[in-house]
Structure 1
């Protein structure tokens, strides 16, 4: 994971140098948007690297659940910076609408964009390999962003070709505005993902159903309830109440819980699992008891008071 982080930072720095030269030669506002996007990539990848290093720090006495939420905090900072940069690019595109001119040295810009696409493609292939091996959410998000960058670079090539070879000076700011809107959309996705992690959002219904089925697949598990999940950096936390035959020994119930734990971890290798074993049917008894208490005389008076 850390090697993938270093690779992303290095690739972003190389692209910044290449695009800075292309912008100096062409003056294209579309190229400027990709330059700013690469600056964002460098900042985002650096923050990701720092967050990954911190998130991988083992749990200690002050952080018993680990340091995974460092990724969420880093993502919040990324989102704020990206929003501001997108607004700046939109203002630049608006200014270019009022002062249109043909982009010069388009061939230089096109060559740099092709180089950027090839460099980014190599990086994303390596990132996907790391995600497959580690399941890192941070690297996966970074890889998705760089895939989007390849699309942006392709759009800029189209803008340079149309603007220069077909004498359409307004194409450059139009494409720059479109890219700025794309960056805003990406920033919103980063912000939402960060808030979901920091606010301990549950996994989606499909994943929760999959976890429930894994638990109930064990022949000695008679029921399960109160499944709770959350993601913190590279770690997934799963809690649930598991209902077993009330006649078995404590040692047997512990062995069953260990087997269920291992089966879940085969699918979710980065999961931290907390299991509470209960006698089968106790949840129904609790419900009946609550209903009886609510029906006892004097409860309505107490509630009214």
Structure 2
């Protein structure tokens, strides 16, 4: 399957799972009057909206570059992730407010058996969805699917928390368990939103590749015998697309044609090691020092 087909399949699977769970949890929240169950319902309802946003985001991101978007549409995935983060944050705030109200005013839950049964079904459905999402993430590294995956990972803990809260409340008589678990769920969601938001912002702000990957890229360049040095290396990722640009120091006595052929060879080596990466190379005569950065030779690892 292509990347776009995989990401769309994961988005459709999320939507289908969320629709199923919303119906179940709506009934369970009505039967149990549990704050923890209501929090789980609110999270799943927002998951449904977020999954629809994910589908839209991955569909837009899969569109090829065009006249007005020469670098493609990859950042649509990060925008979808930011939208999901906003929904998760709203969900966390609403759950926390309801839990605090229950702590102050009191209240009892009911129908523990129904609530527990619904939570177990939700856990099984979520496990199946997470397995498919992990497969898609391994194949595509989609930030939108990864953020959606975070939602459903938290759903596992949400559903487990609902079960524990109902057991403690109705079978052991610990009436504060339900709102306290509601607060814990809200805190978990807020922390997940913070982490996912940081990754999405990194994509939108053209964050550099991880240091390990940059080092691997430089190692590929270092193996070319005619490259005298590299400086002003810049990297970024936009959805499924990676972009790299750098200055390359070459023998100043080479002709333009020879430099051009050398650049083609370098690009071929990069394509072999980093398939699909779009590369922009600026050749510099060896010995020229960039006044705004280090000398060319300083950014290449030593050759053996």
Q: TM-score range by the shorter chain?
A: 0.7 to 0.9
Q: 1:282 aligns to what SS in structure 2? A: coil
Tell me how far apart the structure 2 counterparts of residues 147 and 43 of structure 1 sit (CA, whole Å).
17
CA 1:213–1:287 in structure 2 vs 1: closer, same or farther (change >3 Å)? closer
User: TM-score, normalized by length of structure 1?
Assistant: 0.86
Tell me how far apart the structure 1 counterparts of residues 111 and 272 of structure 2 sit (CA, whole Å).
55
1:151 equivalenced with 2:157 (yes/no): yes
Q: Which residue number corresponds to residue 204 of structure 2?
A: 198
CA 1:229–1:25 in structure 2 vs 1: closer, same or farther (change >3 Å)? same
CA 1:257–1:153 in structure 2 vs 1: closer, same or farther (change >3 Å)? farther
| Structure 1: gaps of 5 or more residues | 289-305
Q: Which residue number corresponds to residue 278 of structure 1?
A: 284
Tell me how far apart the structure 1 counterparts of residues 147 and 277 of structure 2 sit (CA, whole Å).
19
Q: Which residue number corresponds to residue 10 of structure 1?
A: 16
User: Out of 64, 68, 75, which is 2:70 matched to?
Assistant: 64
User: Out of 121, 125, 128, which is 1:119 matched to?
Assistant: 125
User: Out of 160, 169, 178, which is 2:166 matched to?
Assistant: 160
1:95-114 deviations in Å (ceiling 9; x for gaps): 11123333211121111111
CA 1:220–1:114 in structure 2 vs 1: closer, same or farther (change >3 Å)? farther
User: Out of 23, 37, 48, which is 1:42 matched to?
Assistant: 48
CA contact (8 A) 1:229 1:238 kept: yes
Tell me how far apart the structure 2 counterparts of residues 217 and 273 of structure 1 sit (CA, whole Å).
17
The number of aligned residues is 288
1:85 equivalenced with 2:91 (yes/no): yes
The two structures, once aligned, show a CA RMSD in angstroms of 2.3
- Superposition deviation, residue 27 in structure 1: 0.9
CA 1:71–1:286 in structure 2 vs 1: closer, same or farther (change >3 Å)? closer
Tell me how far apart the structure 2 counterparts of residues 88 and 176 of structure 1 sit (CA, whole Å).
10
1:54 equivalenced with 2:60 (yes/no): yes
- Superposition deviation, residue 169 in structure 1: 1.0
- Superposition deviation, residue 254 in structure 1: 3.8
1:99-152 deviations in Å (ceiling 9; x for gaps): 333321112111111111111111111111112222322222222332222122
Q: 1:142 aligns to what SS in structure 2? A: helix
- Superposition deviation, residue 92 in structure 1: 0.6
CA contact (8 A) 1:234 1:270 kept: no
CA 1:123–1:77 in structure 2 vs 1: closer, same or farther (change >3 Å)? same
User: Out of 24, 27, 46, which is 1:21 matched to?
Assistant: 27
1:217 equivalenced with 2:233 (yes/no): no
Tell me how far apart the structure 2 counterparts of residues 20 and 121 of structure 1 sit (CA, whole Å).
20
CA contact (8 A) 1:102 1:167 kept: no
Q: Which residue number corresponds to residue 175 of structure 1?
A: 181
Q: Which residue number corresponds to residue 237 of structure 1?
A: 243
CA contact (8 A) 2:17 2:125 kept: yes
1:97 equivalenced with 2:103 (yes/no): yes
Rg comparison, structure with higher value: 1
Q: Which stretch of the first structure deviates more once superposed, 249-258 or 41-50? A: 249-258
